[in-house]
Amino acid sequence: MEAKKPYVVFMGGPCVDKYFDAEAWPEIGNKVSVWHRGNVCGGLIANAACVCAGYGIETYSFDIKGEGPDTEMLFEDMEKSHVHMDKAQIIPGKKDTYCVIYQLPSGEHTLMVVNGTKHPIDLTDDLREFFLGASYIYGTLDWSAYFNDSWGLLEELKAKGVRIMLDCESSFNSEEARRMIGYATTVSFNEFAAELYGNGKTFEEFRDELFAKGVETIILTLAEKGAKIVTRDGEWQVGCYDVDPVDTTGAGDTFNSSFCVAKVMGLSDPEALRFANAAANMSVTVQGPRGGITTREKVEEFMRTHTPKDER
């Protein structure tokens, strides 16, 4: 019998990204002029899914969207990037999330997520089988937006050994989010989120708490200082490459998605770290939230011809 092709499921879908150019980010009580550059198809999870599909990995996006022309446009755009949308659910009357992105002349940005309405559904047998068959499931800490019994599904996934990678955004900080971390095999934090979820603990105390919950790999993205992973077997850190950033939007999504892909391809944790770091550094040299879409060959070529500032 032919082996089943591995696939990755991304919990979340596309949304409209509204881009604005800003001279500077205003201090509290002050104002600043901005210019609307235009709208593009984006979404944090969708961007990560498109990066995954670019490597040739079978990729699905699961989401619950409202009905309308934006949804049709967004789904068509995802399919063009080879992300399957046939598992997504359409609910008439649901208001969808969109993002507002303010970009500074330096290339740095501030992103605001304008949340839509939640409309969780009952999990069908077909969807349950679909999730249980995944090699990896990637998402944030807000699965309650999708299912009436998200905890039951998470228990099944953990029992089946399905690998779950969670991007622990600071905006999801809650008791429910902290509980969900215990179902993940890999968790990713930026420095701010790690401090927030650590809740006053030292990193070593927080690390041991995560390991006790069953987490196997902790990723720390460190902006201009690169990235670091911590496992029970050790820790590794790589620095950034010397590139001229054009747009840092989506760099974290590119890193996380590329790390997930590297693990599906069979790379070790240190190898996956170096691969993901190179992909993220490549992505900031391209304008737009999906600048990270590339191929394994191009990332490996970049690694051969460029050297990170520091590695240990």
pLDDT in tens, 147-183: 999 999 999 999 999 999 999 988 787 888 899 999 9
Residue 2 lies in a domain: no
Top-confidence range, 20-24, 173-177, 262-266: 262-266
DSSP state of 309: S
CA–CA dist 274, 227 (Å, integer) = 9
Q: How confident is the model at residue 85 (pLDDT cuts 50, 70, 90)?
A: very high
Which residue of the set 17, 96, 167, 253 is catalytic? 253
Of the candidates 43, 62, 211, 231, which has an alpha carbon nearest to the alpha carbon of residue 134?
62
Q: What is the average per-residue pLDDT within 34-41? A: 90
CA–CA dist 59, 54 (Å, integer) = 9
CA–CA dist 126, 6 (Å, integer) = 17
DSSP 144-191: GGTBTTHHHHHHHHHHHT-EEEEE--GGG-SHHHHHHHTT-SEEEEEH
| pTM, to two decimals | 0.87
- Residue 1: its pLDDT value, please? 38
DSSP state of 96: P
CA–CA dist 302, 230 (Å, integer) = 25
DSSP state of 141: S
Q: What is the average per-residue pLDDT within 192-214? A: 94
Q: At 236, which CATH number?
A: 3.40.1190.20
Q: What residues make up the domain containing 231?
A: 7-305
Active site residue 233: no
Residue 225 lies in a domain: yes
Query: The tokens 């989506």 sit on which residue?
Result: 250
Residue 312 lies in a domain: no
Residue 131 lies in a domain: yes
Determine the 3-state secondary structure of 205 from DSSP: helix
Residue 78 lies in a domain: yes
Residue 7 has pLDDT above 90, yes or no: yes
How many domains are contained in the chain? 1
Q: What is the average per-residue pLDDT within 201-221? A: 95
pLDDT in tens, 217-262: 999 998 888 899 999 999 999 999 988 888 777 888 999 999 999 9
User: CA distances (Å), 160 to each of 60, 134, 149, 165, 182, in order?
Assistant: 19, 10, 17, 15, 15
43's tokens: 């979404």
